[in-house]
Amino acid sequence: MQYTRALALTVAVLLVVPGLSVAGAQGNPNLSASFADNRVTPGEETTLTVNVVNDGEVDTIDSNIDATYATVRSRLTTARGVTVSMGEADAPIDVETNSQTFGSLQDGASAPAKFDVTVSENAKPGTYEVPVHVEYTSTTYISAVDGNHKQRTVNRTYDLTLRVRDAARFEVVDVESNARVGATGTVTLEMKNVGTDPANDTQVTLTSKNSDLTFGTSSSASRYVGSWEQGETRDVEYRISATPSASAQQYAFEVATTFETSDGETMTGETQALSVVPRAEQQFVLVGTESNVAVDDTGTLNVTLRNDGPISVRDATVTISSENSDITFGKSASSSRYVGSWEAGETRSVQLETTASGDAEPNNYALNAQISYEDEEGDQETATGLSLGLRPEPEREFVASDLSSTLRVGEEGTLKGTITNTGDTTADSVAVVLDTNTQNINPLETESAVGDLEPGEAADFEFEIEISDAAEAGARQFTLHTEYRNSENEARRGDDIVTRQDVAPKKDEFALETSNATFEKGSTSVVSIDVTNTGNETLTNIGAEMFADDPISVSDSEGFINRLEPGETETVKFTVSAAGSATPKSYPVSVDFQYDDSDGDTLLSDTYRLPVTVTEREGGSGNLPIIVGLVAILVVGVGGYWYYSRQ
């Protein structure tokens, strides 16, 4: 019995002593690794995700350690500097990604490590072991005595199971497209099931990465293919439109395949990138035009066009249209000619009967050409944007020479010149017409008839023009044109004739000259003004009015002249006074006139300012009579008050 107790005591001591020797804490991280999804298919480029999980544990913690339990546990169970790498071993994969580093991974935490891999196209379905290497550093011991700790570096390899499964896999073998810029065409994908399994309910989706190439209004389109055997090649066709802003360059597309495996699982195959190059926009170019169309006549317009491709077309029709009613095709603004089949690079000509109206001018008129056709897909297309011009031959020609004018602001003047028929035929009933809608310029007549003009014959013309008072002096542009009768007595219009003429500044209606305009302060004088008509028309009922400011006053301020011929002078007189307080110097007086012109219109002139001169009174006693008068008035007033107060 004593032996048994001694043995038990010995065992107890042995058990206690190691614990006491720890005098601190011990523990370690516990990492594990697994694939998030371990399924791959032959030929696939994919990403394998390895989830690394830390399930750390603590062996012992001495109660005397100078730290909280949570702190000690965290230090012992945290894996630091975690690095994960993937090997290949016998697995049919190529690992494209280097080692992944996480930093620290605490107890209970997980982190994904992603590795890009390429599965061999010849991989056989089955399972394979893939080595995943994990390296980290951890704290294994913390002393309760001095806080020192021990670390270790751990390297572990986990063999993870990779499953290569039977599955269809699709590869784009070829891409063909007849889509053209500005038109709709087809894109055909030649695709092959290069996988290890047939596919059911297969659907192929093609997506454009650029808005210049679309499937109608959508950026993607899908085609249902159905069952697709292993090794089978199929053509998948899409209708695609290229905008006019597209160009003949590579445009990026992506194709993705969704299908059902033989096990009934729905899978989406790897997305593949491809490019589509649209052909250049169908082009027709103008080679040239010929015309014998004259103004007020009908002739032939010949238009030559070339099909610059890239395709040959069928059932082509050329339509020429006019943008101006002066150029017509019969009575219509457009005319069409059927061309039929038109090979790329081939040149065709169309002839159209064309009329230039009598109002047409020998200038370039814009015409448009469009070609409607059927393309190789059987689609109806129209090529627009072809511009051409038609310049009718002139019917008659006139030249104006010796153009001159006597125009002045506020007066009537003339614009005159000589018109010459420089054409090859006689022009009947020729008239020169002045075109103007300019404010302040008012022709009295806008037409000057010069009669019939033989070829080379000339005649003078003249226009009376009134320039209003509101006009400004300076150069003015006037537009003239000729009107005449053709051989069928129909009115026709010639070219515009543009001339630049000067309008002289307005001159005063009257010239004024004063006399008797100097007088003493405190005195009155009759000032005479000689009024001369400086214009070129007779003026009547001329009323003159003078006004002034202190110390000058006008007591007789109005004058009248019954009639004043051009250049004639009459005198008007005004009574003007200067206050006795006026300072000797010159003062302004103002005079204006109201009058009737030769048309009977009543007008008001500008205001004329004239000087009058005030001088000192002779003898220097100019104020004495005023003082004497004031004293006399005061005496009479006082005497009168005294007399009446006595009564």
Condensed to tens digits (0 to 9), the pLDDT of residues 525-541 reads 999 999 999 888 899 99
Write the burial class of residue 204 (CB in 10 Å: 0-12 exposed, 13-18 middle, 19+ buried): buried
Stretch 555-574: mean pLDDT = 94
Stretch 181-193: mean pLDDT = 93
pLDDT band (50, 70, 90) for residue 396: confident
Residue 493 pLDDT: 80
Claim to verify: residue 406 and residue 499 sit in the same structural domain: yes
Residue 358 pLDDT greater than 80, yes or no: yes
Cα–Cα dist 111/262, whole Å: 34
Residue 645 pLDDT: 53
Handedness of CA 469, 473, 477, 478 (dihedral sign): positive
Stretch 260-284: mean pLDDT = 89
Least confident segment among 417-426, 610-619, 637-646: 637-646
Residue 484 pLDDT: 86
Stronger pLDDT, 141 or 370, i.e. the higher one: 370
Residues in the chain, total: 647
Claim to verify: residue 326 and residue 442 sit in the same structural domain: no
Residue 535 pLDDT: 84
86: nearest Cα among 55, 48, 29? 48
Q: Which residue, of 276, 305, 332, is where some domain finishes?
A: 276
Q: Pull the structure tokens for residue 54.
A: 């830390």
Domain count for the chain, please give it.
Answer: 5
Question: 304 φ, ψ to 5°?
Answer: -110, 125
Claim to verify: residue 214 and residue 304 sit in the same structural domain: no
Claim to verify: residue 265 and residue 241 sit in the same structural domain: yes
Residue 397 pLDDT: 82
Claim to verify: residue 177 and residue 265 sit in the same structural domain: yes
pLDDT band (50, 70, 90) for residue 626: very low
Residue 1 pLDDT: 36
Domain assignment of residue 491, yes or no: yes
Cα–Cα dist 418/404, whole Å: 10
Residue 317 pLDDT: 95
Residue 346 pLDDT: 95
Stretch 183-205: mean pLDDT = 93
Task: Using the structure block, give the residue that is written with the tokens 């491809």.
Answer: 274
Least confident segment among 4-18, 380-394, 523-537: 4-18
Task: Using the structure block, give the residue that is written with the tokens 């009718």.
Answer: 392
pLDDT band (50, 70, 90) for residue 637: low
What CATH number corresponds to the domain at position 188?
2.60.40.10
Claim to verify: residue 149 and residue 62 sit in the same structural domain: yes
Domain hosting 91: range is 22-38+49-160
Stretch 292-302: mean pLDDT = 83
Residue 239 pLDDT greater than 80, yes or no: yes
pLDDT digits (tens, 9 = 90+) for 442-493: 998 999 999 999 889 999 999 999 888 888 888 889 999 999 876 557 677 8
Residue 634 pLDDT greater than 70, yes or no: no
Cα–Cα dist 93/35, whole Å: 15
Claim to verify: residue 222 and residue 336 sit in the same structural domain: no
Residue 623 pLDDT greater than 80, yes or no: no
Stretch 413-427: mean pLDDT = 86
Residue 557 pLDDT greater than 70, yes or no: yes
Stretch 619-636: mean pLDDT = 48
Task: Using the structure block, give the residue that is written with the tokens 């103008």.
Answer: 286
Stretch 92-114: mean pLDDT = 93
Domain assignment of residue 256, yes or no: yes
Task: Using the structure block, give the residue that is written with the tokens 């009933």.
Answer: 429
Stretch 225-232: mean pLDDT = 94
pLDDT band (50, 70, 90) for residue 424: low
133: nearest Cα among 162, 103, 98, 157? 157
Residue 3 pLDDT: 32
Domain assignment of residue 153, yes or no: yes
Stronger pLDDT, 166 or 513, i.e. the higher one: 513
Claim to verify: residue 110 and residue 87 sit in the same structural domain: yes
Stretch 379-403: mean pLDDT = 87
Residue 21 pLDDT: 43
Domain assignment of residue 296, yes or no: yes
User: pTM of the entire structure?
Assistant: 0.44
Domain assignment of residue 642, yes or no: no
Tell how far CA 647 is from the center of its chain: 104
Rg from Cα positions in the chain: 56
Domain assignment of residue 32, yes or no: yes
Least confident segment among 12-16, 478-482, 518-522: 12-16
Residue 473 pLDDT: 86
Residue 67 pLDDT: 67
Domain assignment of residue 44, yes or no: no
pLDDT band (50, 70, 90) for residue 297: confident
Q: Pull the structure tokens for residue 126.
A: 């089955």
Stretch 203-226: mean pLDDT = 95
Residue 471 pLDDT: 86
Residue 9 pLDDT greater than 50, yes or no: no
Stretch 128-155: mean pLDDT = 88
3-state SS record for 509-520: CEEEEEECCEEE
Residue 405 pLDDT greater than 60, yes or no: yes
Domain assignment of residue 8, yes or no: no
CA distances from 478 to 430, 481, 501 (A): 19, 10, 7
Residue 242 pLDDT: 92
Find out whether 393 and 380 touch, Cβ atoms under 8 Å. Answer: no
Contacts of 354 (CB under 8 A, 6+ apart): 291, 293, 298, 299, 300, 301, 327, 328, 329, 390
Q: Which residue, of 469, 485, 503, is where some domain finishes?
A: 503
301: nearest Cα among 324, 335, 325? 335
Handedness of CA 501, 506, 510, 516 (dihedral sign): negative
Q: How many Cβ atoms sit within 10 Å of the Cβ of residue 45?
A: 14
> How high does pLDDT run on average in the chain?
87
Stretch 635-641: mean pLDDT = 49
Question: 271 φ, ψ to 5°?
Answer: -75, 130
Residue 628 pLDDT greater than 60, yes or no: no
Claim to verify: residue 379 and residue 406 sit in the same structural domain: no
By percentage, how much of the chain surpasses pLDDT 70?
90
pLDDT band (50, 70, 90) for residue 17: very low
Residue 4 pLDDT greater than 60, yes or no: no
Stretch 570-590: mean pLDDT = 94
Residue 13 pLDDT greater than 50, yes or no: no
pLDDT digits (tens, 9 = 90+) for 502-512: 898 888 889 99
Residue 70 pLDDT: 81
* Structure letter (DSSP) for residue 606: P
Claim to verify: residue 178 and residue 142 sit in the same structural domain: no
By percentage, how much of the chain surpasses pLDDT 90?
58
Residue 395 pLDDT greater than 90, yes or no: no
Question: 66 φ, ψ to 5°?
Answer: -90, 70
Is the omega angle on the peptide bond into residue 198 within 30 degrees of 0, that is, cis?
no
Claim to verify: residue 97 and residue 207 sit in the same structural domain: no
Least confident segment among 92-101, 216-225, 614-623: 614-623
Stretch 387-411: mean pLDDT = 87
Across 516-585, where does the E strand assignment appear?
518-520, 524-533, 539-548, 552-556, 558-564, 569-578
Claim to verify: residue 301 and residue 417 sit in the same structural domain: no
Q: Which residue, of 440, 468, 503, is where some domain finishes?
A: 503
Relative to beta strand 39-40, strand 149-164 is parallel
